[in-house]
Amino acid sequence: MSEMAGHRIETDTLGPVRVPADRYWGAQTQRALENFPIGEERMPVPLVRALGLVKLACAEANMELGVLDRRIGEAIARAAREVAEGRFDDHFPLSVWQTGSGTQTNMNANEVIANRANELLGAPLGSREPVHPNDHVNRGQSSNDTFPTAMHVAAAREVHERLIPALEHALAELAAKADAFSGLIKIGRTHLMDAVPMTLGQEFSAYVQQTACALDRLRAALPRLCELAQGGTAVGTGLNTKRGFGERVVAKLAAWTGLPFTSAPNKFEALAAHDAMVELSGALNVIACSFHKIANDIRLLASGPRCGLAEIRLPANEPGSSIMPGKVNPTQAEALTMVCVRVMGNHTAVTFAGASGHLELNVYKPVIAYSVLQSIRLLADAIRSFTDRCVVGIEADARRLRDYVERSLMLVTALTPHIGYDRAAEIAKKAYAENLTLKEAAVRLGYLTAGEFDAIVRPEKMLGPSD
């Protein structure tokens, strides 16, 4: 290694490369930085930290199996732990748009960890000794098994630490609103047109169930996600590993994270396909569909305040217009629906990428990882924000709800069992055409007396099956 002003010279199998002197990455990372100047999307931080955790587990497993010198292995383990803790996030500069196996990012991790380990052992950055990025940090590994292992670890941790808590929070707050609104009768709507009565609580109960199902779907996808590829090396055979290496690595990852990671039962499938990530993305896609519907409903119910439905009031978080004074918009709902659209788009990318593996390797790993991790983060953040800044503060306009119920023509549905569908329809048409109440139309047509009408048409008795 030689030095120049502000740079050092590192070498790889292709020759010398100038690397910024204060960066812990090495020659292969620098080449990738120069060869893939594509977009602004960098490898996600959760993936980088998961790689640190995987490298730590591999170092410890290799020491236990006697294939890695303890002095070198302990330095690698310390450096890898620092990567896992986020101390070297800024030393992972590579674009998502690189080789489809994630090799450049795996080597980025190997080089950062090797340089930090050498530093800990008193050697300068770029020395490649006593710790070598391939021979020691990458011992018993291939990008083809290490990168997908990190993908699964990162996704599982993000689901458990971000998305599940956000959904559980939303579930609790939506359930609280459903309970609070249980006594408020309103008019339901189908095809955006007036329908029969229900309670506002019943309407919100649908959102509660959608959120509960979101959690169920997410948890159902996790067992396959928790199957890890480590130990398969290049094509799934486990070449260049000691027997039991992959199982040791997985056991350590499970112990450290508290997640039920297991060794993939078939390493060939774990490298060649990413069905578990596609399955998880599918669950995220359904969650996006659910919350797109919930957010749209809430902003429809809040439309107004004077010329819309205005059945509920949303918190006024900020001014809504640069030209219309006093306007307040459903901004949290709009932000959430945009996130949902993005997640749906990500799922399209993941679906195509997952379907496009060739023979023994899927080479769309980085875009799958990026898309899934972005979807998890966006949904978690947006759902929590929507819950805290919108759902919690929703209020019902009881007077407006009552007024709509009293004016609705669809209360006529209660008459059908008594006078038949045709006569009930005639009453509704007459009331609408002549601007009458349903009672007035029924009496004028001679189908019911006022007393009979009042005995039958009782909104509070129309909220479920009869006894």
- The pTM for the full model equals 0.95
Task: Kindly give the residue spans of alpha helices, DSSP state H, lying in 37-85.
Answer: 45-64, 70-84
The reply to whether 145 falls in a domain is no
**Residue 175 in contact with residue 391, Cβ under 8 Å?**
no
Domain of 368, CATH number, reads: 1.20.200.10
Q: Does residue 131 sit in the same domain as residue 228?
A: no
Q: What is the pLDDT of residue 294?
A: 98
Q: Does residue 214 sit in the same domain as residue 358?
A: yes
Tokens of 159: 């689901």
Q: Does residue 160 sit in the same domain as residue 115?
A: no
Among 53, 173, 35, 51, residue whose Cα is nearest residue 94: 35
pLDDT of 285-298, one tens digit each?
999 999 999 999 99
Q: Structurally, how many domains does the chain consist of?
A: 3
Q: Does residue 204 sit in the same domain as residue 260?
A: yes
Q: Does residue 49 sit in the same domain as residue 175?
A: no
End-to-end CA distance of the chain: 87
pLDDT in tens, the chain (467 residues): 555 679 999 999 999 999 999 999 999 999 999 999 999 999 999 999 999 999 999 999 999 999 999 999 999 999 999 999 999 999 999 999 999 999 999 999 999 999 999 999 999 999 999 999 999 999 999 999 999 999 999 999 999 999 999 999 999 999 999 999 999 999 999 999 999 999 999 999 999 999 999 999 999 999 999 999 999 999 999 999 999 999 999 999 999 999 999 999 999 999 999 999 999 999 999 999 999 999 999 999 999 999 999 999 999 999 989 999 999 999 999 999 999 999 999 999 999 999 998 999 999 999 999 999 999 999 999 999 999 999 999 999 999 999 999 999 999 999 999 999 999 999 999 999 999 999 999 999 999 999 999 999 999 999 999 88
Q: Does residue 115 sit in the same domain as residue 216?
A: no
Q: Counting beta carbons within 10 angstroms of the beta carbon of residue 296, is it exposed (0 to 12), middle (13 to 18) or buried (19 or more)?
A: middle
Of 368, 399, 430, at which residue does a domain stop?
A: 399
321 counts as catalytic: yes
Of 375, 399, 423, at which residue does a domain stop?
A: 399
Q: Which of the following is catalytic: 2, 182, 321, 356? A: 321
- Bond prior to 37 in cis (omega within 30° of 0): no
Q: Which of the following is catalytic: 191, 263, 290, 347? A: 191
Query: Cα 368 from chain centroid?
Result: 13
Of 139, 172, 202, at which residue does a domain stop?
A: 139
Q: What is the pLDDT of residue 466?
A: 85
Q: What is the pLDDT of residue 144?
A: 98
Q: Are strands 227-228 and 262-263 parallel, antiparallel or unpaired?
A: parallel
Q: Does residue 284 sit in the same domain as residue 426?
A: no
347 counts as catalytic: no
Q: Does residue 130 sit in the same domain as residue 203?
A: no
Question: Which residues have a Cβ under 8 Å from the Cβ of 136 and sit 6 or more positions away?
Answer: 68, 72, 73, 76, 114, 117
Among 176, 129, 169, residue whose Cα is nearest residue 381: 169
The reply to whether 466 falls in a domain is no
- Bond prior to 46 in cis (omega within 30° of 0): no
What does pLDDT average to over the chain?
96
The reply to whether 1 falls in a domain is no
- Dist. CA 149–CA 143, nearest whole Å: 9
What letter would DSSP give residue 391? G
The reply to whether 367 falls in a domain is yes
Rounded to 5 degrees, φ, ψ at 7 are -140, 165
Q: What is the pLDDT of residue 467?
A: 80
Q: Does residue 266 sit in the same domain as residue 351?
A: yes
Q: Note down the domain range covering 455.
A: 409-461
Q: Does residue 25 sit in the same domain as residue 156?
A: no
Q: Does residue 126 sit in the same domain as residue 173?
A: no
The reply to whether 404 falls in a domain is no
Tokens of 37: 């100047």
Q: What is the pLDDT of residue 2?
A: 53
The reply to whether 321 falls in a domain is yes
The reply to whether 345 falls in a domain is yes
Torsion of CA 325, 331, 333, 334, to 10 degrees: 100
The reply to whether 239 falls in a domain is yes
Domain of 456, CATH number, reads: 1.10.40.30
Among 378, 354, 352, residue whose Cα is nearest residue 365: 354
Q: Does residue 77 sit in the same domain as residue 212?
A: no
Domain of 51, CATH number, reads: 1.10.275.10
Q: Counting beta carbons within 10 angstroms of the beta carbon of residue 317, is it exposed (0 to 12), middle (13 to 18) or buried (19 or more)?
A: middle
